[in-house]
Amino acid sequence: MAIETNVETNKVNPPIPKNFFEYVKNIGPGILFLLSILGVGDLTGSSVNGSKFGYAILWTLLLAVIIRYVVLEAIGRFGICNPGKLTPIQGLLKVYGNWFRWLIAAFAFTFFFTSMSYYVKGCAEILNAMFPFLPIPAWGLITIAFGIFCVYSPVYKNIEKMFKYLLILVFFTVVACAFILKPDWGAFFTGMFIPSIPPGVPDLRSTMFVVIGAIGTVIGGMGQLMYPFFIQKKGWNAPQYVKMVRFDLAFTIIMLFLIDSLLYIPAVTLLHSQGGAVIKTALDIFNMMHMAVGTAVTFVFMLGIFGAAITTAVGMPYGVIHVFQEAVYGKIDHKHWTWKAASIFAWIPPAFFVFTNVPFTTIALVAGNIGVFFSLLVGTGIFIIGNNSKLIGKEYRNPWWSNVGLVAALGTLWYLSGLRLIEMVQKILA
């Protein structure tokens, strides 16, 4: 989803909803945010984890969406409630100091090498699975060219509308597949609500890389700092819109959770139950879906996933470039060299990776792990500024449920990340 150059709020603010139906009618930033983050990573994470571990690791998805909600709610609330009219990035700099702006810049460039690369390669592999008459590198270059055209052309607004309809098709296709396959719903909900270690795995540390990657793929990293742009565009710029932000986010998170959780079912039913076949490319996912629902439905499913993937491949880098420039330069200016440099560099790593044999599932897993560590820093900083009366105002400090959620989520992630870091150091020393 392309972000307008002018991020100033509208002169006429939208009316405050008075009932449930008006809240539903005014949903907007969350949907745009969902369109920018929902794509290859969700398809990959759910399919790979489902084929390897069955439903035993589904609880990580529930944990991930809870983390995403509490962090984004705090980010959105700070952006519209703090009396100094600081952006979330400016608030984080108050906590960490100026060095954090360069860490944001470093993570932005890491994003271009990891997340951006698997978005593009994922699109290329999906297109190759659907239309094999062109090789993956060719589809990758076409995807990059299309992405550049969409970002810098007003025609993208019309294309985005088409992708929204494709995403609706994906949702109903995923639901249909779930009921056609007749899964073990008892095992499904047990895996979702009861944390456990997958069968055959000796302990949690042995599967830590996958657990953190699964969480990181869903909660994202740089993407969390994009949500305020969508709020500004909607015109939600005052404390009276807090309830609307929460409702908007709740709808978004529920949709994300439903799609991601139901994507486990084909992988578990068709692959895990038969020994856990390995998924490395989009062609593997295509074949998996073909076994379940046939050619026609599979084609519609992959077409919708491509719509989600290309929207992400276009929207995420554009948003991350905004985050990068605000962190480094202090404001958004498309004529400044920081914008031009980042806009050019964003597409170079993907162009390299489409010519390699590295599976996009591997790149996605690495990106997920990096996303967790960045999310920890962002989440911790947001927790601090959200409880600082001088920055956000006493009236709008984090409510008790937000603090409980943030402490539980961040505590869990810090613990898991610490175990993972110890494991990595031990391997290096060995």
pLDDT tens per residue across span 158-185? 555 665 676 677 777 778 878 888 888 9
pLDDT given at position 15: 79
| In contact, 1 and 315? CB cutoff 8 Å | yes
Q: What is the model's pTM?
A: 0.77
**How far is 215 from 64, CA to CA, in rounded Å?**
5
- Count CA within 13 A, CB hemisphere, residue 205: 10
CB atoms within 10 A of CB 268: 28
DSSP characters over 287-314: HHHHHHHHHHHHHHHHHHHHHHHHHHHH
Are 289 and 302 within 8 A, CB to CB? Answer: yes
d(CA 55, CA 190): 8
CA neighbours within 13 Å on the CB side: how many for 82? 25
Q: What is the pLDDT of residue 39?
A: 62
The residue count for the chain: 430
H/E element holding 283?
helix 282-329
Sort residue 97 into left (φ over 0), alpha (ψ -120 to 50) or beta. Answer: left
Q: What confidence tens digit (pLDDT) does each residue in 380-396 have? A: 888 899 898 888 888 88
Residue ranges in the chain modelled with pLDDT below 70: 1-12, 35-45, 151-164, 166-167, 198-222, 272-283, 292, 358-372, 420, 424, 427-428, 430
The whole-chain average pLDDT of the chain stands at: 76
Domain spanning 20-398: which CATH class is it, in words? Answer: mainly alpha
Beta carbons of 66 and 375 less than 8 angstroms apart: no
What is the C-alpha R_g of the chain? Answer: 21
Rounded CA-CA distance 4/25 in Å is 22
Q: What is the pLDDT at residue 369?
A: 62
Phi and psi at residue 38, to the nearest 5°: -80, 120
What's the sign of the alpha-carbon dihedral 219, 220, 221, 223?
Answer: negative
- 385 near 231, Cβ under 8 Å? no
